[in-house]
């Protein structure tokens, strides 16, 4: 029988800058679902990619002095770019689409033409508001306090000849899709969409622009480029081969698929995208799931706010699987969640090091110590089962069913909760049985001890199978340690208590999840963040200076009356300063590399004025100007300390 096909997609990412932990969250979640469906035995197609057109990217590339194509190539394909990140995070996508791929560009042109030819795209004049960062057109009535309803930023007036898509024509069908089917989840998003967009009346959508050129050209009307969202949304079918010869999977049962998206782009995926498909006469997706945001200090992460968290740093410090697990375990999929490094470390320590890691390491160590790594045949059964034997077996034996129910409802966090109930139950089972006491009299208690350890291995195995989608590499290690062969790693075997061979070869290997020292890890993270940004700071001095000694240094505010380069010196500038005494002070400073003398005249600076005089290049220097220094990408950077011009020359710093 042919395997059931399952098609799942992430949003395609804007390569406008490096991706952060919020993007990683979205892709890891989709990867977990894709791996879950593979575990079920389905024939999975998992698509991700990059959304590379639009005015925003054109503008950023221009500012960086490169062509848009060069710019996106670097961020998508370059070192530590988007493809590298997905490789690092063990993302198992089967396909990667770039909207600048030729086949996609051609398909979008054909899709646009099809909708034009069937009368759903017509020419008109666009008058309205445009939010550049969101690449979204808005009508006056949709604005919130005159600003973009999505991001709250200023919008621009826009007026140009443009093509329009008859979105209004599909209003009733879309309402029906949203309200009367389970297409869009979670349900709260349905209410948002209906209240904010359907109830006020769907207006036709402007789908072409003429004021910039970085996009898919409308082939039958030069000068127009296709609206970036029409271009981007089409990726879900062009990547399967719709209207192109690059792939041939569209008619093979992949479509319709499941779109996993963040909440701010649910509007595009649950209204505009289904309407486009209706216009094309194609089936709408099976599902659109709108997950929440990872917040930092209560706000959305964004480069412009400077509060992004770098997934490279976290994965390198804590391990890819620990990071994947944390993202799925901690934040209810569908709601917003507050990210913090402390929370990440706590989750690793509690769930992975304490609960799962300890269960596996204690059990495998005991099998090694008491049985030389192989339990005796027959240890899987025990005639006089006690209540806690039964409890553990029942809970683990029925876990797969509860887990699947949650995964099927896009609740990976709840599925993990079920797995961890079993892990915690198993750890309690160790305490209930005190194997080390049983081991004191192996002759009398050996068979019971073997049974207890078998039950523990078996509980670990079942949990291991169900954790594969979340932590594939670590679960391979776990299986190797408990001696689980291929047949006991399958989905079927997870519903069967007793799947592990009684005489499996058990070996205590490396610690799966080492405990993290919170303070040390936080310090290292900070250092890694600085190294990534290229900023290096001098370490603070440990040696204390007593207050009286400190007070002997006389720091004063000084004003620059004149400044010139010292002849024959590349570095030195000569300052004539007003230090409030009425007598000019001369100071020489080696800062020409960072400042031109004419830029400093009139500035208010700080100097230490009671250093002994020093001769430099034959000239006397009476004091030293105070600067702030750090290194950036290995280069020293210096900033003269400049203070408010209102402070009079000679004022003492204390």
Query: In whole angstroms, how close is the CB of 338 to ligand ME8 at the nearest point?
Result: 11
Point out which residues pair with 125 in neighbouring strands.
161
Contact status: 185 vs ligand ME8 (CB under 6 A): no
Contact status: 179 vs ligand ME8 (CB under 6 A): no
Work out the end-to-end distance of the chain between its first and last CA atoms, rounded to an integer number of angstroms.
84
Please, where are the H alpha helices in 91-141?
A: 102-117
Contact status: 13 vs ligand ME8 (CB under 6 A): yes
Kindly give the interhelix angle for 311-318 and 21-39, rounded to the nearest 10 degrees.
60
Shortest-Cβ-distance residue relative to ligand ME8: 262
Which of 256/590 has CB closer to ligand ME8? 256
Query: In whole angstroms, how close is the CB of 12 to ligand ME8 at the nearest point?
Result: 5
Q: How far apart are CA 315 and CA 312, in angstroms?
A: 5
Query: In whole angstroms, how close is the CB of 272 to ligand ME8 at the nearest point?
Result: 10
Total residues at interface with ligand ME8 (CB under 6 A):
20
Of 8, 22, 310, 407, the one binding ligand ME8 (CB under 6 A) is 22
Query: In whole angstroms, how close is the CB of 296 to ligand ME8 at the nearest point?
Result: 8
Contact status: 513 vs ligand ME8 (CB under 6 A): no
Contact status: 321 vs ligand ME8 (CB under 6 A): no
List the interface residues with ligand ME8, window 42-61 (CB under 6 A).
51
Which of 231/351 has CB closer to ligand ME8? 231
Query: In whole angstroms, how close is the CB of 238 to ligand ME8 at the nearest point?
Result: 11
Of 293, 318, 370, 429, the one binding ligand ME8 (CB under 6 A) is 293
Of 68, 241, 262, 285, the one binding ligand ME8 (CB under 6 A) is 262
User: Closest Cα partner for 170 from 256, 280, 285?
Assistant: 280
211 vs 41, 47, 67, CA distance in Å?
49, 32, 17
Whether residue 585 contacts residue 577, with contact meaning beta carbons closer than 8 Å, is answered with yes
Q: How far apart are CA 432 and CA 165, in angstroms?
A: 67
Q: How far apart are CA 499 and CA 454, in angstroms?
A: 11
Cβ density class 573-610: b for 16+ within 10 Å, e for less: bbbebbbbeeeebebbbebeeebebeebeebbbbbebe
Of 294, 407, 500, 649, the one binding ligand ME8 (CB under 6 A) is 294
Kindly give the interhelix angle for 442-467 and 399-408, rounded to the nearest 10 degrees.
10
User: Closest Cα partner for 294 from 8, 61, 29, 87?
Assistant: 29
117 vs 111, 222, 280, 281, 514, CA distance in Å?
10, 17, 10, 13, 62
Which of 17/117 has CB closer to ligand ME8? 17
Contact status: 357 vs ligand ME8 (CB under 6 A): no
Which of 89/426 has CB closer to ligand ME8? 89
Which of 207/453 has CB closer to ligand ME8? 207
Contact status: 81 vs ligand ME8 (CB under 6 A): no
Of 6, 7, 8, 12, the one binding ligand ME8 (CB under 6 A) is 12
User: Closest Cα partner for 572 from 556, 550, 588?
Assistant: 588
Q: What is the phi-psi region of residue 201: left when phi exceeds 0, alpha when psi lies from -120 to 50, beta otherwise?
A: left
Which of 332/368 has CB closer to ligand ME8? 332
Residue 441 is inside which H or E element, if any? none
Return the structure tokens found at 429: 């089972």
Q: How far apart are CA 467 and CA 469, in angstroms?
A: 6
Looking at 5-13, 218-226, 378-386, 609-617, which segment touches ligand ME8 (CB under 6 A)?
5-13
Looking at 206-214, 259-267, 281-289, 574-582, which segment touches ligand ME8 (CB under 6 A)?
259-267
Query: In whole angstroms, how close is the CB of 226 to ligand ME8 at the nearest point?
Result: 13
Q: Which residue has the tokens 């009425």?
A: 582
Query: In whole angstroms, how close is the CB of 135 to ligand ME8 at the nearest point?
Result: 8
User: Closest Cα partner for 213 from 414, 429, 54, 92?
Assistant: 54
Whether residue 97 contacts residue 105, with contact meaning beta carbons closer than 8 Å, is answered with no
636 vs 277, 624, 629, CA distance in Å?
56, 19, 7
Of 155, 206, 265, 563, the one binding ligand ME8 (CB under 6 A) is 265
Of 6, 7, 8, 14, the one binding ligand ME8 (CB under 6 A) is 14
Which of 25/36 has CB closer to ligand ME8? 25
Whether residue 270 contacts residue 260, with contact meaning beta carbons closer than 8 Å, is answered with no
Which of 216/404 has CB closer to ligand ME8? 216
Q: What is the distance of C-alpha 279 from the center of its chain?
A: 34
By DSSP bridging, strand 635-640 and strand 156-165 are unpaired
Contact status: 311 vs ligand ME8 (CB under 6 A): no
Which of 298/613 has CB closer to ligand ME8? 298
User: Closest Cα partner for 194 from 175, 177, 176?
Assistant: 175
Query: In whole angstroms, how close is the CB of 369 to ligand ME8 at the nearest point?
Result: 46
Of 25, 112, 333, 513, the one binding ligand ME8 (CB under 6 A) is 25
Query: In whole angstroms, how close is the CB of 333 to ligand ME8 at the nearest point?
Result: 10
Which of 276/606 has CB closer to ligand ME8? 276
Contact status: 23 vs ligand ME8 (CB under 6 A): yes
Query: In whole angstroms, how close is the CB of 282 to ligand ME8 at the nearest point?
Result: 16
Query: In whole angstroms, how close is the CB of 319 to ligand ME8 at the nearest point?
Result: 21
Looking at 160-168, 294-302, 453-461, 550-558, which segment touches ligand ME8 (CB under 6 A)?
294-302
Contact status: 261 vs ligand ME8 (CB under 6 A): yes
Kindly give the interhelix angle for 399-408 and 387-397, rounded to the nearest 10 degrees.
30
List the interface residues with ligand ME8, window 217-236 (CB under 6 A).
232-233, 235
Whether residue 290 contacts residue 262, with contact meaning beta carbons closer than 8 Å, is answered with yes
Query: In whole angstroms, how close is the CB of 26 to ligand ME8 at the nearest point?
Result: 4
Cβ density class 305-328: b for 16+ within 10 Å, e for less: eeebbbbbbbbebbbbbbbbbbbb
Whether residue 294 contacts residue 264, with contact meaning beta carbons closer than 8 Å, is answered with no
Whether residue 68 contacts residue 61, with contact meaning beta carbons closer than 8 Å, is answered with yes
Q: Which residue has the tokens 């079927």?
A: 492
Of 105, 218, 225, 301, the one binding ligand ME8 (CB under 6 A) is 301
Contact status: 111 vs ligand ME8 (CB under 6 A): no
Looking at 7-15, 485-493, 563-571, 637-645, which segment touches ligand ME8 (CB under 6 A)?
7-15
Which of 272/466 has CB closer to ligand ME8? 272
Which residues contact ligand ME8 by CB under 6 A?
11-14, 22-23, 25-26, 51, 232-233, 235, 261-262, 264-265, 293-294, 300-301
């Amino acid at each position: 029988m042919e395997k059931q096909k399952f098609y799942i997609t992430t949003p395609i990412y804007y390569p406008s800058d490096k991706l952060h932990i919020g993007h990683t969250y979205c892709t890891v979640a989709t990867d977990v679902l894709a791996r879950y469906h593979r575990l079920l035995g389905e024939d999975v197609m998992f698509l991700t990619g990059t959304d590379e057109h639009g005015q925003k990217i054109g503008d950023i590339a221009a500012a960086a002095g490169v062509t848009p194509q060069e710019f996106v190539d670097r961020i998508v394909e370059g070192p530590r770019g988007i493809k590298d990140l997905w490789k690092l995070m063990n993302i198992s996508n089967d396909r990667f689409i770039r909207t600048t791929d030729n086949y996609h560009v051609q398909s979008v042109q054909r899709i646009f033409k099809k909708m034009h030819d069937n009368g759903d795209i017509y020419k008109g004049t666009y008058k309205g508001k445009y939010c550049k960062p969101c690449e979204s057109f808005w009508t006056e009535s949709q604005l919130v306090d005159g600003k973009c309803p999505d991001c709250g930023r200023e919008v621009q007036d826009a007026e140009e000849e443009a093509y329009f898509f008859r979105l209004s024509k599909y209003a009733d069908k879309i309402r029906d899709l949203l309200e009367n089917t389970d297409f869009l989840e979670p349900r709260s998003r349905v209410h948002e969409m209906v209240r904010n967009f359907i109830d006020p009346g769907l207006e036709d959508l402007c789908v072409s622009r003429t004021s910039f050129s970085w996009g898919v050209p409308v082939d039958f009307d030069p000068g127009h480029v296709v609206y970036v969202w029409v271009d981007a949304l089409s990726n879900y079918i062009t990547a399967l081969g719709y209207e192109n010869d690059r792939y041939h999977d569209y008619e093979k049962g992949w479509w319709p698929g499941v779109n996993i998206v963040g909440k701010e782009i649910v509007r595009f995926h649950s209204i505009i995208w289904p309407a486009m498909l209706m216009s094309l006469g194609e089936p709408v997706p099976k599902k659109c799931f709108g997950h929440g945001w990872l917040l930092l200090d209560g706000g959305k992460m964004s480069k412009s706010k400077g509060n992004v968290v770098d997934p490279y740093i976290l994965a390198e410090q804590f391990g890819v699987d620990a990071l994947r697990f944390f993202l799925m375990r901690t934040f209810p999929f569908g709601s917003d969640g507050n990210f913090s490094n402390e929370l990440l470390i706590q989750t690793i320590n509690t769930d992975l090091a304490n609960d799962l890691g300890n269960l596996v390491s204690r059990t495998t160590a005991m099998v090694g110590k008491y049985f030389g790594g192989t339990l005796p045949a027959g240890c899987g059964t025990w005639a006089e089962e006690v209540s806690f034997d039964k409890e553990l077996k029942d809970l683990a034996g029925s876990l797969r069913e509860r887990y699947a129910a949650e995964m099927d409802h896009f609740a990976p966090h709840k599925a993990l909760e079920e797995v961890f109930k079993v892990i915690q139950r198993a750890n309690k089972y160790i305490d209930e049985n005190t194997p080390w006491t049983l081991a004191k009299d192996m002759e009398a208690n050996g068979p019971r001890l073997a049974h207890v350890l078998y039950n523990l291995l078996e509980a670990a195995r079942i949990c291991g199978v169900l954790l594969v989608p979340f932590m594939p590499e670590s679960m391979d290690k776990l299986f190797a340690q408990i001696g689980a062969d291929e047949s006991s790693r399958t989905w079927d075997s997870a519903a069967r208590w007793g799947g592990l061979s009684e005489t499996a070869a058990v070996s205590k290997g490396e610690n799966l999840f080492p405990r993290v020292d919170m303070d040390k890890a936080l310090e290292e993270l900070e250092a890694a963040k600085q190294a990534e940004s290229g900023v290096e700071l001098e370490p603070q001095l440990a040696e204390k200076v007593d207050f009286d000694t400190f007070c002997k240094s006389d720091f004063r505010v000084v004003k620059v009356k004149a400044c010139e380069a010292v002849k024959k010196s590349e570095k030195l500038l000569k300052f004539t300063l007003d230090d409030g005494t009425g007598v000019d002070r001369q100071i020489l400073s080696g800062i020409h590399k960072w400042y031109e003398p004419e830029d400093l005249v009139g500035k208010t600076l700080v100097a230490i004025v009671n250093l002994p005089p020093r001769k430099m290049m034959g000239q006397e220097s009476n004091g030293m100007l105070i600067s702030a220094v750090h290194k950036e990408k290995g280069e020293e950077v210096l900033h003269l300390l400049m203070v408010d011009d209102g402070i009079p020359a000679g004022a003492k710093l204390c």
